[in-house]
Amino acid sequence: MQDLAVSASGLVKRFGDRRAVDGVGIAVPKGLIYGVLGPNGAGKTTTLRMLLGIIEPDEGERMLLGSRHPRDMSDHVGYLPEERGLYPNMKCREAIAFMGALRGLPWKVGRQRAGELLESAGLGHAADDKIRKLSKGMAQLVQLLGSVVHEPDLLVLDEPFSGLDPVNQERLELLIRGQRDRGATILFSTHVMAHAERLCERISVIAGGKVRFEGTVDAARALLPLRARYTPLQAADGIAAMLPADAVCEEGSWRFTVPEGGIEALLVRLIDAGHGISGLSIERPGLHDAFVRIVGDEALAGQPETIA
């Protein structure tokens, strides 16, 4: 077993009668980019906050960077909360240095690194601008820089991509990879599958306060069978009967689930019947589909659960 940056088992948090987090366990190996996925209100944020020691769990154990008291390690952790917030009257450079100072980085070093970080993030021109002058996306990047300025061993990002345009999302992905390459462990939550698919080496899917899946992205995708898209040479009546029951015709192409024994036998039958093959593609379903499958319709329908 690899060294774990974060581990927890049986975490429970009750808000009134509701169990917002109901027995969540997690194990994040060091040096990985780890995603916590889940629909809105699944308990992701509450879980992250418990792992960081911002709030205390009602039940369960957690270890953060080898300590049972996460707060003792706070100088080695960077955190981007879901609710973004910076002092609007602070200059970018100062804001970043301030966030570093909170985590034990001397102000002077913080200011210097802030300049470099802003420069590398393409915000060098804004170093001496006040936060209030920045766009929302820029402010978010500044806050992210503030959470990495002290070069933390663990970086926890809560919905880091929300509110960013595609260009800034790309910058953020680069930055996250950069932190991983530096040796940091990154734990982030999202409900946007595309980012998780591109970035994460492992994921946990949380829904309804419980862990529904843990493993690699590929393992998650493998939960669903392959999908095929077949286009015959020309439309004919007999085709539908030969294809699996879930086949659907769209503009002359058929989409269906690849049968368990593989698609070859089916193709042989189609060719023998003279339908021919004008187009064929076999796709692994995306994380999106896997996610929907894991979380289930019931969870997606959305219980009245919103967790701040």
Partner 1 sequence: MMPRFLRQALTIARRDLTATVMTPTFLLFLLSPLLMIGFGVIGGLSGQAASSAGEARQQIVVIAPADQRQALQAADRELRSVFTRDSARPRLRIDRAEADPALQARGLFDSDAIEAAAVLYGPLDHPVVLRRSGAEAEGRYLAALAAQTLRAERAGGVRSTPRFETVTREAPTVSGRGQAAYFSTFAIFLVTLMLSGQAVGAMAEERSNKVIEILAAAVPLESVFFGKLLGAFGSALIFVGFWGTLVANLPRLLPGDAAGLLSSLSVAVGPVFPLLLIGYFVMAYLLQSAVFLGVGSLASTQREIQMLSLPITIFQFAMFGMASYAAGNPESWVATVAEVVPFSSPMAMAARAANAPELWPHALAFAWQALWVAMTLTIAARLFRRGVLKSGSPKRAKRAVV
What residues make contact with partner 1 under the rule CB under 8 A? 15, 52, 54-59, 61, 68, 71, 74, 77, 79, 81, 83-90, 98-99, 101-104, 143, 146, 308
Nearest residue (CB) to partner 1, 93 versus 103:
103
CB of 12 to partner 1, least distance (A): 9
CB of 83 to partner 1, least distance (A): 4
Pairing of strands 154-158, 185-190: parallel
Nearest residue (CB) to partner 1, 50 versus 287:
50
Do residues 143 and 84 lie in contact, with contact meaning Cβ atoms separated by under 8 Å? Answer: yes
Angle at 85 between CA 30 and CA 156, to 5 degrees: 5
Tell me how far the alpha carbon of residue 253 is from its chain's centroid.
33
Query: Could you tell me which residues are beta bridge partners of residue 37?
Result: 190, 205
42 to 53, 56, 190, 283, 303: CA distances (angstroms): 19, 18, 11, 29, 9
- Token reading at 4: 């774990």
State the SS3 of 118-155: HHHCCCHHHCCCEHHHCCHHHHHHHHHHHHHCCCCCEE
183 to 102, 113, 138, 195, 232: CA distances (angstroms): 22, 18, 25, 20, 51
C-alpha to C-alpha distance for 230 and 234, rounded to whole angstroms: 11
Nearest residue (CB) to partner 1, 81 versus 286:
81
C-alpha to C-alpha distance for 160 and 192, rounded to whole angstroms: 10
CB of 153 to partner 1, least distance (A): 15
Contacts of 206 (CB under 8 A, 6+ apart): 24, 36, 37, 38, 42, 43, 44, 47, 212
C-alpha to C-alpha distance for 214 and 246, rounded to whole angstroms: 29
Nearest residue (CB) to partner 1, 142 versus 228:
142
CB of 111 to partner 1, least distance (A): 13
CB of 154 to partner 1, least distance (A): 12
Do residues 153 and 186 lie in contact, with contact meaning Cβ atoms separated by under 8 Å? Answer: no
Nearest residue (CB) to partner 1, 154 versus 207:
154
CB of 17 to partner 1, least distance (A): 14
CB of 169 to partner 1, least distance (A): 21
Nearest residue (CB) to partner 1, 78 versus 232:
78
Nearest residue (CB) to partner 1, 132 versus 198:
132
CB of 97 to partner 1, least distance (A): 10
Nearest residue (CB) to partner 1, 81 versus 115:
81
